Chain A
């Protein structure tokens, strides 16, 4: 199997409604930015894997329209229906197989152009859930209460995740929200779907992200500071929320175990230098501490409180500020890979975790974290 490295990445600016951008213009600037940062040009690239949402775009098979903006004309182009991190896993497999030597991965979304809550309702099948109006937020709220009840997690622990991540986001030049919030502000923000409060939910974000991946020979020839992909995993739980153990992020656990096994990670808490995870709501970051192996069952609030996952902690989680500071669906998880790659290659600027060598990027998908994808990158 070929070595595969992440050799370039770029994020566009993010905003609540970028009315001066189209999906194509966002894709174009992310792809050209990522290529520039890699030192490769589009002519060097074999494959383009993209992630977009036909529902958000309001058109079918949307990659037919965006193929030129991605630089994918007359290349092997393929689209995944899911987060951009899954697209990165597909690109990894193509290069690892030896059939391809390099790939551009791009994901984008303009959530502002439609109603995001109405769009997430289309994830619900028509008979049992959609007729009830269930969407990502209400499914998340049911999961939040299941989790909090199961382990006696208080609302203050969830609110503290927002405080931690919003503070981290202040230093992130890409973040959409760059203003810190206090515990009191979070706890006093309105309940948009109890137990979830306004400041505990991700913002609505327009934007795009791209990464460039290449096989070992190319990666070594263009840069001495590649983020090597050493582990991948993805997993899907049952669809129906009422069939699952809703208080556990079981698919994230499976995805992480696969990635850890491949990367030879036995104790993520001591071996990973940081994690970038997809927390669409505060409670999800706590659930992910358990699922991704940073703590035992029911211990997530304790490690947060002890500062283990905070800035300067043993294993910082979301030093970029995470999804609570910008949520460019469906690029959200790919952004985690861009941030993790920047960290382990020592190019994270103001966000740099000192001495970072190994990191995990996580993406979540579906209602109440039904699916997950994980990638381990290291220097």
Chain B
């Protein structure tokens, strides 16, 4: 029998599965400080001394343990940005908005976060975090970083 082009060519489906991700101590301490104190904490590497924001329990640069925490920011400098023109599912903000790589005062690494679609969000600009009223222990407890006076150049 010859096989003719079938009518059903695609089967619709969806994979959905709930998770309950353990934060571990370091990430948990960072998210708790955001939620309860509106403070941004970095981790201090016991090896190279780098202040890592947001922190992990080991240093991604020199592999040493990160044990101590230190408050950083709240101000930060824009290292790079990208403009999101269209909305997407699970987006942290309505479009348009910007992704930013922001280096907080006292930090040796940059943090990915979001910012308004404002031309003052430029490389070199100083941003400050705006916290949400209702916080749940998430990186999005910082709603976004907004420009503070000083402006960058590109």
* Residue positions of A touching B, CB distance < 8 A: 19-20, 58, 117-118, 121, 126-129, 131-134, 138, 141-146, 149, 190-196, 238-243, 246
A182 to B51, CA, bound (A): 46
Complex contacts, B54 vs chain A, CB 8 Å: 127-128
Residues A240 and B60 in contact, CB atoms below 8 Å apart: yes
Complex contacts, A142 vs chain B, CB 8 Å: 80-82, 99, 101, 112
Binds A, one of B67-75, B85-93, B126-134: B85-93
Residue total for B at the interface (Cβ-Cβ under 8 A): 43
- Nearest residue (CB) in A for B81 is A145
Ordered by A's residue number, 26 sampled pairs between the chains whose C-beta atoms are within 8 Å are A20-B5, A58-B15, A126-B19, A126-B21, A127-B23, A127-B139, A128-B54, A129-B112, A131-B92, A132-B139, A133-B91, A133-B92, A134-B112, A138-B82, A141-B82, A142-B101, A144-B82, A145-B123, A146-B79, A146-B101, A149-B80, A192-B85, A238-B61, A241-B101, A242-B101, A242-B110
Residues B89 and A246 in contact, CB atoms below 8 Å apart: no
Least CB distance, B79 to chain A, in whole angstroms: 7
Residues A246 and B101 in contact, CB atoms below 8 Å apart: yes
Known: A118-B90, A142-B80. 11 other contacts (CB 8 A): A127-B21, A131-B140, A132-B114, A132-B140, A141-B82, A142-B82, A145-B82, A145-B123, A240-B60, A242-B111, A243-B109
Least CB distance, A296 to chain B, in whole angstroms: 23
Least CB distance, B153 to chain A, in whole angstroms: 10
A212 to B103, CA, bound (A): 47
| Residue from B15, B19, B80, B85 having most chain A Cβ neighbours under 10 A | B80
Residues B15 and A238 in contact, CB atoms below 8 Å apart: no
Complex contacts, B92 vs chain A, CB 8 Å: 131-133
| Residue from B79, B123, B154 having most chain A Cβ neighbours under 10 A | B79
Complex contacts, A238 vs chain B, CB 8 Å: 60-61
Complex contacts, B86 vs chain A, CB 8 Å: 192
Complex contacts, A146 vs chain B, CB 8 Å: 79-80, 101
Least CB distance, B13 to chain A, in whole angstroms: 7
Least CB distance, B10 to chain A, in whole angstroms: 6
* Residue positions of B touching A, CB distance < 8 A: 5, 9-10, 13, 15, 19, 21, 23, 27, 31, 52-54, 56, 60-61, 79-86, 88-92, 99, 101, 103, 109-114, 123, 138-140, 154
A212 to B117, CA, bound (A): 50
| Residue from A20, A127, A134, A144 having most chain B Cβ neighbours under 10 A | A127
Partner of A118 from B5, B56, B89, B154 at Cβ < 8 Å = B89
Complex contacts, A194 vs chain B, CB 8 Å: 82-83, 85
- Nearest residue (CB) in A for B14 is A58
